[in-house]
């Protein structure tokens, strides 16, 4: 149903097959497509898998965290639109099953903000030495000495920043410290179980003030502290509650990611610094696996290609096995193999020089072979007999069937699992 004001001349919504909306003050209309194309191409599934990871990362962040995180976004763009645009190319892929799992986290080396204030960044190496924990450089000095624990207040830090970098900082500026962690996450999973993965997205803020006598460390939740580098020439904040080996363990254990964002309220909105996440080795390794591991990527693409089954239809998304790839495909003639085809990703089109054949065996890499049955397979284009499956290992099965094909089929032979095409045999 369309809504609006006919007197003022604008509508939004639909009337029949006409959809109305407004863009930049103009009334727009288009025909509704009641049967949108959904070819499930590899490119389309890849984009959906990347979109799912970006969308879930935003969803698992604190509400409104990314509001105003990107300066200069157009009026027609939402905060999520801009975050998506900034991060889609660097995002790992996430399966539909993982996206629907409320506890499973989304990870990636994401851009967290972009704007006109000077970037803080994070130093992880100084003078060719790897630091125990990331260091957020706030200012440079010939020599700055941090006071004793009780003197490390917001007021002291504000005084130092205004003195060392008067053109960069102002009273009222905000420093937002972000700490992301996950303590029960070993490898990227296309089909994760419903369990607690120990994910947390926390942030702590310091508002620069000459009168705030609260401790900087307490303002940062105890997860970061004032520090200096290079014989007291750099003043900043280090990740972690302590330094040395204990701090190194605190940063390197589990999955950790962090950043610090500088913001300033002005009459026209909010100025922000451009920042992206700095991650520990475990986080970096897992993200790299999600970006490059071919077996995981194939599982994700297969999951996005699969047909969705409603839970109330008797089968949830988590209850079905998923076919990952074809290990081999064999056609038999008089008990002998006349075609023995190699491993391929799915769906695969084979062009085959025709000879009469009487049986077909296809070996498949799958996620849960014990959940598969022969009645989940269909073969189109020829009559088949005695369809059967056999479990070969914990990650593979064999589907076989008999047939009596004396002449080349006029239509391609299509092998499907749960309605999704695995292989198409086109006989020449």
Residue pointed to by tokens 């190319």: 89
Distances (CA, A) of 310 to 194, 315, 317: 18, 7, 8
pTM of the predicted protein model = 0.68
What domains are defined for the chain? 3-36 (no CATH), 44-298 (no CATH), 312-427 (2.60.40)
Among 207-211, 237-241, 369-373, name the one with the lowest average pLDDT: 369-373
Confidence of residue 316 (pLDDT cuts 50, 70, 90): very low
pLDDT tens, residue by residue, 34-86: 555 555 677 888 888 999 999 999 999 998 999 889 998 877 778 888 999 99
Residue 237: pLDDT over 60? yes
Task: Identify the bridge partners of residue 357 per DSSP, sorted by sequence position.
Answer: 405
Confidence of residue 243 (pLDDT cuts 50, 70, 90): confident
* 297 within 8 A of 303, measured Cβ to Cβ: no
Question: In the prediction, which pLDDT does 367 show?
Answer: 76
DSSP 312: G
Residues with Cβ within 8 Å of residue 250, at least 6 apart in sequence: 133, 240, 241, 242
Average pLDDT, the chain: 85
Question: Pick from 140, 68, 56: which is nearest to 106 by CA?
Answer: 56
Confidence of residue 317 (pLDDT cuts 50, 70, 90): very low
Residue 7: pLDDT over 50? no
pLDDT tens, residue by residue, 344-354: 777 788 888 88
DSSP 16: T
Cα(38)–Cα(54) distance, integer angstroms = 21
Cα(223)–Cα(203) distance, integer angstroms = 10
Compute the average pLDDT of residues 400-413: 88
Please state, as a whole number, how many other Cβ atoms lie within 10 Å of the Cβ of residue 310: 9
DSSP 307: P
Question: In the prediction, which pLDDT does 33 show?
Answer: 58
Residues with Cβ within 8 Å of residue 180, at least 6 apart in sequence: 199, 200, 201, 202, 255, 256, 257, 258, 277
Among 132-141, 169-178, 237-246, 316-325, name the one with the lowest average pLDDT: 316-325
Question: In the prediction, which pLDDT does 370 show?
Answer: 79
Cα(111)–Cα(218) distance, integer angstroms = 27
Among 30-39, 142-151, 281-290, name the one with the lowest average pLDDT: 30-39
Task: Identify the bridge partners of residue 113 per DSSP, sorted by sequence position.
Answer: 275
Compute the average pLDDT of residues 179-197: 86
Structure tokens at 333: 């003639």
Cα(122)–Cα(274) distance, integer angstroms = 12
Question: In the prediction, which pLDDT does 280 show?
Answer: 93
* SS3 state at 136: strand
Among 103-112, 139-148, 181-190, 308-317, name the one with the lowest average pLDDT: 308-317
Residue 8: pLDDT over 60? no
Cα(396)–Cα(361) distance, integer angstroms = 13
Residue pointed to by tokens 């960044």: 121
Residue 251: pLDDT over 50? yes
Distance of CA 196 to the CA centre of its chain: 18
* 363 within 8 A of 397, measured Cβ to Cβ: yes
* 248 within 8 A of 281, measured Cβ to Cβ: no
Confidence of residue 295 (pLDDT cuts 50, 70, 90): confident
Cα(49)–Cα(64) distance, integer angstroms = 24
Cα(371)–Cα(33) distance, integer angstroms = 37
* Percent of all residues in the chain with a pLDDT value above 70, rounded to a whole number: 88
Question: In the prediction, which pLDDT does 315 show?
Answer: 46
Question: In the prediction, which pLDDT does 32 show?
Answer: 61
């Amino acid at each position: 149903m369309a809504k609006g004001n006919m007197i003022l001349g604008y509508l939004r919504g639909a009337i029949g097959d006409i959809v109305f909306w407004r863009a930049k003050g103009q009334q727009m209309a288009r025909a509704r497509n009641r049967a949108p194309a959904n070819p499930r191409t590899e490119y389309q599934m890849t984009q959906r898998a990347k979109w799912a990871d970006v969308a879930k990362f935003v969803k698992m962040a604190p509400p409104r965290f990314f509001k105003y995180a990107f300066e200069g976004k157009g009026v027609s763009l939402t905060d999520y639109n801009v975050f998506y645009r900034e991060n889609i190319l660097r995002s790992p892929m996430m399966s539909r099953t993982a996206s629907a799992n409320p506890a499973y986290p989304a990870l990636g080396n994401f851009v967290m903000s972009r704007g006109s204030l000077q970037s803080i960044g994070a130093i992880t190496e100084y003078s060719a030495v790897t630091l125990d924990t990331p260091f957020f450089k706030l200012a440079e000095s010939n020599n700055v000495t941090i006071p004793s624990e009780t003197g490390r207040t917001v007021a002291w830090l504000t005084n130092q920043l205004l003195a060392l970098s008067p053109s960069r900082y102002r009273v009222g500026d905000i420093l937002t410290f972000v700490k992301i962690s996950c303590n029960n996450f070993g490898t990227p999973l296309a089909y994760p179980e419903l369990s607690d993965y120990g994910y947390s997205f926390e942030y702590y803020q310091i508002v620069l003030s000459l009168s705030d006598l609260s401790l900087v460390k307490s303002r940062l939740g105890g997860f970061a502290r004032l520090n200096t580098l290079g014989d007291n020439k750099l003043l900043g904040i280090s990740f972690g509650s302590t330094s040395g080996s204990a701090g190194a363990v605190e940063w390197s254990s589990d999955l950790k990611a962090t950043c610090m964002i500088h913001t300033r309220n002005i009459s026209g909105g909010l100025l922000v610094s451009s920042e992206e996440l700095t991650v520990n080795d475990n986080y970096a390794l897992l993200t790299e696996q999600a970006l490059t591991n071919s077996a995981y990527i194939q599982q994700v693409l297969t999951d996005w290609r699969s047909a969705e089954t409603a839970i109330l239809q008797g089968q949830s998304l988590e209850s079905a096995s998923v076919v990952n790839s074809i290990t081999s495909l064999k056609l038999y003639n008089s008990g002998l193999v006349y075609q023995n085809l190699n491993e391929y990703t799915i769906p695969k089109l084979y062009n085959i020089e025709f000879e009469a054949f009487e049986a077909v065996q296809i070996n498949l890499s799958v996620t849960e072979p014990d959940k598969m049955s022969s009645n989940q397979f269909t073969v189109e284009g020829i009559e088949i007999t005695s369809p059967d499956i056999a479990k070969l290992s914990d990650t593979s099965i064999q589907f076989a069937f008999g047939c009596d094909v004396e002449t080349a089929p006029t239509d391609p032979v299509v092998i499907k699992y749960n309605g999704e095409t695995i292989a198409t045999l086109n006989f020449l």
